[in-house]
Amino acid sequence: MPFKLLTFPSDPRQGARFDESLVGLAACDGPIASVWEAQQGLVVPRTYQRHDSFARVSEEFAAQGWPIAVRLSGGGVVPQGTGIVNLSMAYAFDGPPLRHSDAAYLLICSMIRNALKEDWDVETRIQAVDGSFCDGRYNLAWGPENSARKVAGTAQLWRRVGQDQTKRQIVLVHALLLAAIDAASLTERANLLERQLGSGKRYDATRIASLHDCLPASRTLPAAAFMQGLKESLIGQIKKTSAPTNCVPAHLDV
């Protein structure tokens, strides 16, 4: 089944939790995908609310123009805003999430890797990058393996749908691409949050990279043009990608 592409020609900046709405759309309309940009802010998992100072720190960051959104998926703190591109896909499966989780990660990673290699001559690999914010096994990294830097991170959210006793689930798989960012500035913002919360976590700006800086000399162009071209590359991958063959049809009762 092909993915239905959701675009926003009149309002490209969405709320940080916009893609959670794709779960309901996938339940009604079948596989759906979107390439989108979010408003400036930080996004954290629900575990961050356990910090006693979370409410106070959230107010302070919002006053500084960096509102904190609490997402339903796991992971760690991630920034959103200028220079960041998001790719999100949602589709339904029968069976427990653990049976399909790795396949969902591999699908979105392969789409991004293909877009970067085919259109921009940028080679990436799937690997964890210790010291990067929201590190995970299904990062995309650029550079030599022993000194690779994270250029994209991924996360998942699963929701059971239907009113019967089936084990039908919607997976939302999301990738955040560091397209044209200031690595030092974003890392410092994430570190500031961790310091204010007293979490003890710290991140290293040298462990992430802006994809715009990874372009070969023959492909250099202004950051804004690269951002637009990267979104078009990802949309191209969506258009030629089908949901997994064991994906179930739409029109579910949510």
pTM, two decimal places: 0.93
- Mean pLDDT of the residues in the chain: 92
43-61 pLDDT per residue, tens: 999 999 999 999 999 999 9
Q: What pLDDT was estimated at residue 251?
A: 47
128-162 pLDDT per residue, tens: 999 999 999 999 999 998 899 999 999 999 988 76
Q: Which residues of 18-45 are buried (b: 16+ CB within 10 A; e: fewer)?
A: bbbbbbbbbbeebbbbbbbbbeebbbbb
CB distance 54 to 198 below 8 Å: no
Q: How confident is the model at residue 247 (pLDDT cuts 50, 70, 90)?
A: low
63-98 pLDDT per residue, tens: 999 999 999 888 899 999 999 999 999 999 887 777
